[in-house]
Amino acid sequence: MFERRSPLAPQLAGGGRDGADGRRSMRIGEARGWHLIQIGAHRRSGAALAAAVGRLCGCALPSSPRIVTACGAHRLYRIAADQYWIVTHDAAVTAALARAITPDVGASTALTHARVRLVIEGAAATALLARIVPIDLRSAALPVGSFAQTGVQHACVLLERSDAQRYELYVLRTYAVSTWEWILDSAMPYGYDVHVAQTEQ
Amino acid sequence: MATGPTGNDGMLRIPCPHCGERDYTEFRYGGDASKIRPPHGTADARAWQEYVFLFDNPKGAHLEYWQHVLGCRQWLVLERDTATNAVGKAHLARSQGSP
Amino acid sequence: MFERKPLLGFAGDTLASALLANGLTLAGRSFKYHRPRGFLAAGVEEPNALFTLGEGGRTTPNVAATTTELYEGLVARRQNAWPSVDFDLGAAISLLAPLLPAGFYYKTFMGPRRGSWMWYEPFIRRAAGLGRARHERDPDRYETRHAYTDVLVIGGGPAGLAAARAAAAAGAAVALVEQDSALGGMLLAAPATGALEDWRTELERAVRAMPNVEVLLRTTACGVYDGNTVALLERHDHERPDAGLGKAREVAVTMHARAIIYATGAAERPLVFGDNDRPGIMLASAAQAYLNRYAVDPGRRALVATNNDGAWRSAIDLAVAGIAVPILDQRQHVEPALQDAARRVGIDVRTGALVTRAQGRRAVTGALVAHNGSARVEHLACDLLCMSGGWSPTVHLTSHTGRKPVYRDDIGAFVPGGYAPGQFGAGAVSGEFALSAALRSAAEAGRAAAHYCGHADPIGPTPPPQVADHPFTLEPPRACPRGAGGKAFVDFQNDVTTRDLALAHEEGYAAIEHLKRYTTLGMGTDQGKTSNLNAIHLMAALRGVGIAEAGTTTFRPPYTPVSIGALAGRSIGHHFRPIRRSPLHDCHIANGAAMIDAGPWLRPWYYRWAGGDAAAAYVNEMRLVRSAVGLADISSLGKIDVQWPDAAEFLNRVYVNGFASLPAGKARYGVMLNDDASVLDDGTTARFGEYRYFMTTTTAQAAEVMSWLEFLLQTAWIDLDVQVVSVTDEWAGMSIAGPRARAALALALPEIDAADAALPHMGAREFEVDGVPIRVLRLSFSGELAYELYVPAGYAIALWERLLERAAALGIRPYGLEALASLRIEKGHVAGLELDHRNTLDDLGLGKMAARDKAYVGRELRARAQLQAPGRWSLVGLECLEPSARLRGGAILFARGEALAGHGRGYVTSVTWSTELGKYIALGLYQGGLRHAGEEIVCAYPLKNEQVRARIVSPMFIDPNGERLHV
Ligand SMILES: [Zn+2]
């Protein structure tokens, strides 16, 4: 068997550090145990793609470019007009999607290994993110359950607000260590614990 | 790298039709969008010469391509006033027609 | 600590107020003449009192003492004194003053002998420079962050507070920024008890109590940019931030506001008279601030000289505090109510009185006063001379986005020349100097700004305080009479006098922008906050034109100096830029790789098994690949998933060579051109299914190619149904190369059928090993039998280790970037150094690749005569002819016997030691290219004064027929 490795394996052994006031007001870590597939429709295949997703994921394709569609073990993100991400615990679903989405239905690309999913959670999470992303984090602009594609240190990220004080960041794998170090540096004044979740939630 | 907030290079806010209004640092500039690329296979070298090398330098309203590279990766056509830097509307380049 | 002597002060003091309270009035020496200077102002406009704060790496030069909040442990010293302020050798320069007019440096030292400036420069800089920066690393922490708000109110004076209250009451989220450590603005200089202070306290309490108002103190709005984006600088020095705990000293905030309210107030101007720079001469408002806010007596016998109503308030406060105050107003007619109010507190009121010259040297001792309509000049003694030449609205920020201020005669000052959309003015900045009028304009601005953001809840105006409130009047400043004597300074920081202005005018530098460059007026840390308007007044008078015609200078960010540290934020050290790491990174470190930066990537340069340094190691690694088998990380190549029915047509358009006929199970090398026919990139694309392709690009051009493909598909070829997705991060890549590569693959991965029949040269197949997909492409960069293996990135290390372990018997070892690059030079493959976006397909010897029977991007412009000229610099191989010498990248190529001058006939792009040929070889570009094959040329390397003989040969140094690839 081939062992699967996280690029953050050495970093996650770090433990954490106290903030300026002696407390640790965040948990920062990696969520594992998920699969990501990007699917897209071409001009004539929107309905066919929606049908395939409906059949295999049990939900409609999201119409909003901001709101995450949560549906059982799956989360769906509309990342461009006709492009979607599906994140799921269930490897069987991505495999089934890859098979079902034939060229007349659309296209699929596996991206599970291309991203690392970071979780930042706690009282100082929003203040920390204001130091690393250039977007409006106020709850009217980024409500719980919404997402935004933006950049950290000029590398693209997908940022999801999964709770008022909980954010998930999908970062490019090859930038993951650099982004991780950047986040930890920014988190210094607040203090943090380092945390790994083998399966999400 | 952090955005240099006091850099003298302007601070456009670009309304991405997909993602909403964002900092110009998330985008990549792509040139004059009022120029029409000769259809693929056009054998007329003069048409290509014109398209590739000859540009107007208008003062005022301008249409330009920007790609939301850190966002949805869509190429946009953005209205920008070259005299005031005022940003107008944007539409996805692939959706034809004027903004 | 101040200059190693302890300094006592109170919380809320500035360095300036504490020094004044300790009896220190000499703040430093002037820039050019080394004249003693005191504290002119009490705020950001201070031109004189620049101090150096901190020690070692923390040293910050040129900080205004008037804005430096006192805190425990502050270390400060005066500067621009050689060797010290109190005993100033440079002061001898003031005796030579007539030799130092404007333009002095350039006129005197730039000629007639070239080089004389270089000789004098260190001396001049040392005598005239301001504070000095240090070379040590700054140990403090600086940060950057983004913030968003509906309404940003800039300035926390009465207008800012009232505007914030109005905007917040209407329902808008408000951020109120104030550069000072307290809210109140000019009201902080009012008496510490009384109706005005009670009113201020109540207004501050009301604003702070509003849940949708965020107050940011010690925060300066430095610049206003497009889209109502404002650069703020937050200072935390007063907290003595500990970088070790992650506490930032300064934070640069990019504030994105939907609306901006400028409540930036106004700054008082000096009067221009002889020796108006003596210590003890200060702005009337500054004297009032020191007296009321800091409880410091700025003097015992004061004179107040003015041309406007504003200074009367200061005079009254001084008189009430028991300081004797004659008031000298240049105007004949002053509002009787104001005169009565002054007389009631015992002020000696004199109208039509003009100060012509100050007396005293290290401190002011008196003034000469001319009375209108009389030749009599009176001498009045004083130890404090307060002056007021009127008030200048702080318009700087309003003009950062390109709106020029306009002059208003009635207040003798520039006001904003309109506001950008979503921007509003409140209070003194818009010329409303009387408090009640300022508050009315602030309430209106607050309401309008909230409305602009879509909030329109009703709100009443802030009630004004129950205090006397006079309308403001002023008479334009009168030029100081000729022959009054002394130097009359216009710009204190740059030592620009009325005489310099006259000289600039005579020499034709009369436009304000020229005047600035000729005299340096308005430059420096204060950017002419106290001098610009007086200079414009004086120049207008010299030219005999109105102020509007004389013009104004352009204000640019930053409003006040910003430390470089704050701009850099945390983007320092190894955070300077993001670093990309291969999925195999940890494994390389464990295998003893020396890493090297390659663009954003960290890549293995060479491995310690092969040698102790790169020069020794890469040749051993090359030998390994040529003789046995090596394993290299190629994960940094760009990888793009290309899908859908039109994918074949799409690839056929972007590559110069044909891709329409590429069958499934095969890969093909391809070259892409830019529209102008320069080469964009090369790489291979493999077809894995009817509609599924796997494209690789060079490491360097990966992002460029991806955007270019998206551009074509989204703007020009929207009729093509093609999907492109970057999979660079999804797939790790490794190259297994060498005559034993197939055997190594068979040992390590028996599931993969790599037999020549199953996987011929340029074959591409997908396998599954232990449930993990592996894509195998048989293609070679080195010229040896080689396979590229692609695997989902999470399994990269497992696959790499399996290959090394299971094929160990064959001698497999990893090889690095240096060997990878050297092997391709031997094979004559072009790479990034040759693909520099200037060379054409033909320049690189690849012209034959271009299909004749189809269109491709760049085809038409490739045919241009200039690009087909026979003399173009094109690709050649070079063999070193001198056994004891080496070739070097960047060497300039000359024909044999030709003079070694100019740009030569080409240059060396890539060099390596060839293990096969036993000599240095290179790729280069040479005029006429391979038409000169066999000729001996000279490779000149002027940096090392080397000239080495070389021969032009085919760039394919090894295996020209490709026999090794087809075994
Ligand atoms: Zn977008």
Helix (H) or strand (E) holding C673: strand C667-673
Domain count, chain A: 2
In a domain, B40, yes or no: no
Amino acid (one-letter) located at C130? L
Residues C703-723: tens digit of each pLDDT: 999 999 999 999 999 999 999
Nearest-CB residue to C144 (from B2, B13, B45): B2
In a domain, B3, yes or no: no
Which residues of chain A neighbour C146 with C-beta distances below 8 Å?
A: 130-131, 133-135
Give yes or no for residue C629 having a pLDDT over 50: yes
Pairs across A and C, CB distance < 8 A: 147
**CA–centroid distance, residue B20 to ligand 1 (Å):** 7
- Is C667 in a helix, a strand, or coil? strand
Which residues of chain C neighbour A136 with C-beta distances below 8 Å?
A: 148, 256
Give yes or no for residue C363 having a pLDDT over 90: yes
Query: Is C794's CB within 8 Å of A5's CB?
Result: yes
Identify the sign of the CA torsion C826, C830, C831, C833.
positive
Label residue C93 by pLDDT band (50, 70, 90). Answer: very low
pLDDT at res. C480: 65
Which residues of chain B neighbour A65 with C-beta distances below 8 Å?
A: 18-19, 72
DSSP letter (8 states) at residue C868: G
| Mean pLDDT of all residues in C808-814 | 97
How many Å apart are CA C632 and CA C733, to the nearest integer?
9
DSSP letter (8 states) at residue C666: B
Which residues of chain C neighbour B34 with C-beta distances below 8 Å?
A: none
Label residue C87 by pLDDT band (50, 70, 90). Answer: very low
| Mean pLDDT of all residues in C6-18 | 86
If asked whether residues A97 and A172 sit together in one domain, one would say: no
Query: Is A188's CB within 8 Å of C245's CB?
Result: yes
Rg for chain A, CA atoms, rounded: 17
What CATH number is given for C475-562 in this structure? 1.10.10
- Is C17 in a helix, a strand, or coil? helix
**Mean pLDDT, all residues of chain C:** 91
Q: CATH number, domain at A85?
A: 3.30.70.1520
Identify the sign of the CA torsion C421, C422, C423, C427.
positive
Locate the DSSP E strands across C427-586. 489-491, 496-497, 580-581
| C365 interfaces chain B, CB cutoff of 8 Å | no
How many Å apart are CA A153 and CA A185, to the nearest integer?
13
Helix (H) or strand (E) holding C938: strand C936-941
In a domain, A56, yes or no: yes
pLDDT at res. A199: 56
Which residues of chain B neighbour A157 with C-beta distances below 8 Å?
A: 70
If asked whether residues A177 and A189 sit together in one domain, one would say: yes
pLDDT at res. C834: 94
ipTM score for this prediction? 0.97
Query: Is C148's CB within 8 Å of A138's CB?
Result: yes
Q: Which CATH architecture has domain C581-635+731-760+780-815?
A: 2-Layer Sandwich (3.30)
If asked whether residues A175 and A185 sit together in one domain, one would say: yes
Q: CATH number, domain at B75?
A: 3.30.2270.10
Beta bridge partners of residue C643, listed in sequence order: C692, C723
- One DSSP character per residue, C46-92 reads -SS-EEEESSGGG-EEEEEGGG-B--TT--EEE-S-SB-SSSBGGGG
Nearest-CB residue to B45 (from C402, C557, C863): C863
Of the residues A112, A147, A180, which one is the last residue of a structural domain? A112
Nearest-CB residue to C653 (from B30, B40, B45): B40
pLDDT at res. C406: 94
How many Å apart are CA A128 and CA A26, to the nearest integer?
9
In a domain, A3, yes or no: no
**CA–centroid distance, residue A64 to ligand 1 (Å):** 13
How many Å apart are CA C505 and CA C509, to the nearest integer?
5
Taking each helix axis from N to C end, the angle separating C512-519 and C532-543, rounded to the nearest 10 degrees, works out to 110
Distance from CA of C258 to the nearest CA of A (A): 12
Query: Is A79's CB within 8 Å of B72's CB?
Result: yes
Give yes or no for residue C397 having a pLDDT over 50: yes
pLDDT at res. C129: 52
In a domain, B1, yes or no: no
Q: How do C281-283 and C384-388 pair as beta strands?
A: parallel
Output phi, psi for C859, to 5 deg. -60, -50
Which residues of chain C neighbour A178 with C-beta distances below 8 Å?
A: 578-581
Q: Which two tokens stand for residue C864?
A: 């241009």
Q: Where is average pLDDT lowest: C108-122, C491-505, C678-692?
A: C108-122
Q: Which CATH architecture has domain C868-966?
A: Beta Barrel (2.40)
Output phi, psi for A188, to 5 deg. -45, -50
HSE-CB at C814 with a 13 A cutoff on CA atoms is 30
Q: CATH number, domain at A162?
A: 3.30.1360.120
Distance from CA of C567 to the nearest CA of B (A): 6
- Report long-range pairs for C683-686 (Cβ below 8 Å, ≥24 apart): C683/C637, C683/C638, C684/C777, C684/C779, C685/C642, C685/C651, C685/C655, C685/C659, C686/C764, C686/C775, C686/C777
Beta bridge partners of residue C777, listed in sequence order: C764, C788
Of the residues A85, A112, A139, which one is the last residue of a structural domain? A112
- Disruptive mutation site among A32, A102, A113 for chain C (greatest number of C CBs within 10 Å): A113
Of the residues A75, A95, A112, which one is the last residue of a structural domain? A112
Q: Which two tokens stand for residue C740?
A: 């034993």
pLDDT at res. C774: 98
**CA–centroid distance, residue B80 to ligand 1 (Å):** 17
- Is C586 in a helix, a strand, or coil? helix
The terminus-to-terminus CA distance of chain A in angstroms comes to 27
Residues C743-758: tens digit of each pLDDT: 999 999 999 999 999 9
Label residue C122 by pLDDT band (50, 70, 90). Answer: very low
In a domain, A60, yes or no: yes
Residue C338 · residue C309 · CB < 8 Å: yes
DSSP letter (8 states) at residue B97: S
How many Å apart are CA C10 and CA C21, to the nearest integer?
10
Q: Which two tokens stand for residue B20?
A: 């909403």
pLDDT at res. C91: 40
Residues C153-201: tens digit of each pLDDT: 999 999 999 999 999 999 999 999 999 999 999 999 999 888 899 999 9
pLDDT at res. C481: 64
Q: How do C813-814 and C630-633 pair as beta strands?
A: parallel
- One DSSP character per residue, C753-782 reads ---TTTS-TTBEEEEEETTEEEEEE---SS
**Per residue of chain A (201 residues), what is the pLDDT tens digit?**
789 999 999 888 878 999 999 999 999 999 999 999 999 998 889 999 999 999 999 999 999 999 999 999 999 999 999 999 999 999 999 999 999 999 999 999 999 999 999 999 999 999 999 999 999 999 999 999 999 999 999 899 999 999 999 999 999 999 999 999 999 999 999 999 998 876 543
- Is C809 in a helix, a strand, or coil? helix
In a domain, A2, yes or no: no
- Is A152 in a helix, a strand, or coil? strand
Residue C834 · residue C922 · CB < 8 Å: no
- The residue extents of the domains of chain C are 15-107+116-127, 142-266+393-452, 273-389, 475-562, 581-635+731-760+780-815, 638-726, 868-966
Q: Which CATH architecture has domain C142-266+393-452?
A: 3-Layer(bba) Sandwich (3.50)
Beta bridge partners of residue C737, listed in sequence order: C630, C786
How many Å apart are CA B81 and CA B88, to the nearest integer?
8
Name residue, tokens 């997703």: A53
Locate the DSSP E strands across C190-276. 213-216, 219-225, 229-235, 248-262, 266-268
Residue C316 · residue C342 · CB < 8 Å: yes
Give yes or no for residue B7 having a pLDDT over 50: no
C638-726 is a CATH 2.120.10.30 domain: no
Query: Is C225's CB within 8 Å of B48's CB?
Result: no
Distance from CA of A101 to the nearest CA of C (A): 11
In chain C, the percentage of residues whose pLDDT exceeds 70 is 93
**3-state secondary structure labels for all residues of C171-210:** CCCEEEECCCCCCCHHHHHCCCCCHHHHHHHHHHHHHHCC
Query: Is C577's CB within 8 Å of B1's CB?
Result: yes
Beta bridge partners of residue C788, listed in sequence order: C735, C777
If asked whether residues A126 and A192 sit together in one domain, one would say: yes
Give yes or no for residue C120 having a pLDDT over 50: no
- Is C123 in a helix, a strand, or coil? helix
Range of the domain at A175: 9-32+114-198
How many Å apart are CA C584 and CA C800, to the nearest integer?
8
Label residue C372 by pLDDT band (50, 70, 90). Answer: confident
Taking each helix axis from N to C end, the angle separating C310-320 and C336-344, rounded to the nearest 10 degrees, works out to 10
In a domain, A121, yes or no: yes
Q: What is the largest CA-CA distance in chain C?
A: 115
CATH topology of domain C273-389: FAD/NAD(P)-binding domain (3.50.50)
Among candidate residues A34, A17, A21, the one with its CA nearest the CA of residue A183:
A17
Residue B51 · residue C675 · CB < 8 Å: yes
How many Å apart are CA C637 and CA C629, to the nearest integer?
21
Residues 6 or more apart whose Cβ sits within 8 Å of residue C98: none
Q: Which two tokens stand for residue A81?
A: 């007009």
Label residue C373 by pLDDT band (50, 70, 90). Answer: low
Beta bridge partners of residue C580, listed in sequence order: C601
Label residue C365 by pLDDT band (50, 70, 90). Answer: very high
How long a stretch of residues is chain B? 99
Domain count, chain B: 1
Taking each helix axis from N to C end, the angle separating C498-506 and C532-543, rounded to the nearest 10 degrees, works out to 50
Locate the DSSP E strands across C881-934. 892-895, 906-914, 919-927
In a domain, B22, yes or no: yes
DSSP letter (8 states) at residue B15: E
C864 versus C108: the higher-pLDDT residue is: C864
Q: Do the domains spanning C581-635+731-760+780-815 and C868-966 agree at the CATH topology level?
A: no
Strand order from edge to edge, sheet including C630-633: C764-769, C772-777, C786-792, C731-737, C630-633, C813-814
Residues 6 or more apart whose Cβ sits within 8 Å of residue C461: C162, C166, C439, C440, C443
Which residues of chain A neighbour B25 with C-beta distances below 8 Å?
A: 134, 151, 154
Residues C860-874: tens digit of each pLDDT: 999 999 999 999 999
Give yes or no for residue C555 having a pLDDT over 90: no
Query: Is B6's CB within 8 Å of C570's CB?
Result: no
In a domain, B4, yes or no: no
How many Å apart are CA C446 and CA C454, to the nearest integer?
12
pLDDT at res. C471: 65
In a domain, A72, yes or no: yes
How many Å apart are CA C889 and CA C251, to the nearest integer?
44
Residues C447-504: tens digit of each pLDDT: 999 999 999 876 666 677 776 666 677 787 776 666 678 899 999 999 999 999 999 9
